[in-house]
Amino acid sequence: MALVTPSVDVRRSGDRFATDIGWLDSKHSFSFGAHYDPENTHFGLLLVNNDDLVAPGTGFETHPHRDMEIVTWVLRGQLVHQDSQGHNGLIYPGLAQRMSAGTGILHSEKNDSWRLTGDDEHRDPVHFVQMWVVPDERGIAPGYEQLEIDDALLRGGLVPVASGRPEHAGAAAISISQQHAALYAARMAPGGTVTVPDAPFVHVFVADGAVDLEGTGRLGTGDAARVTGGAGQRVTAGPEGAEVLVWEMHARLAD
């Protein structure tokens, strides 16, 4: 890969594409569905970074995917996953979840976890971020994986959530079929710091709270920084703390 000139492209929360259809309030960091901008289709290997709020008793009905690595990270509430491969899962904060669409898979995602738990008193929206990266090989067998990593998050620092990087073999929470990418999460205490990976392409998304990105400034909830050719900038949480999602990518899609 040719060397790239270091740069930081800040994308503010309020500038994201938005889909609000009653049961779903979704903010899209990249072109998605009816929202298309030829100058904003991806960054590195990341095609989708959707920030979704789904009302109780509703959700995404069964729909298809193909040749995509899909990672779902729940911030608040619970999300029920079901797919055509027979996987059923309840996704909640601190649980890493990946679905490999491969040759083709059907799945649904719904906020009806209260039906499973019998907790009628807490019919709240579920808030989650769903991220898609392209696999490094098409036509793989569909797959599903999830793992609890809440304890690791409590210890602070950037915690591997999903990775295909060779150095993370046996260390990342879940694997993805993309050797050039890894996703990290951090739950940061007020004033806490983490250092983002040194990589050609780094996507820093503030899922909750506010942070200061070294050399760039403040990023609030829903803001993102697309760092090209960075050198491991520090991220410092604001007075209320923060939760951040960071993609490390060592390749990119052709523009």
Every domain of the chain and the residues it spans: 7-249
What torsion do the CA atoms of 136, 140, 144, 148 make, to the nearest 10 degrees? -30
Contact predicate 145/69, CB 8 Å: no
According to CATH, what is the number of the domain 7-249?
A: 2.60.120.10
Q: How confident is the model at residue 107 (pLDDT cuts 50, 70, 90)?
A: confident
> What is the structure's pLDDT at 255?
62
Is 50 exceeded by the pLDDT of residue 2? no
> What is the structure's pLDDT at 6?
76
Contact predicate 72/183, CB 8 Å: no
Q: Mean per-residue pLDDT for 33-37?
A: 95
> What is the structure's pLDDT at 116?
59
> What is the structure's pLDDT at 38?
96
Provide the pairing of β-strand 24-28 with 46-54: antiparallel
CA distances from 67 to 23, 51, 53, 81, 174 (A): 28, 21, 25, 19, 18
Query: Would residue 254 be called left, alpha or beta, if left means φ above 0 and alpha means ψ between -120 and 50 degrees?
Result: beta
For residue 149 the two structure tokens come to 């990593």
Provide the pairing of β-strand 217-219 with 224-228: unpaired
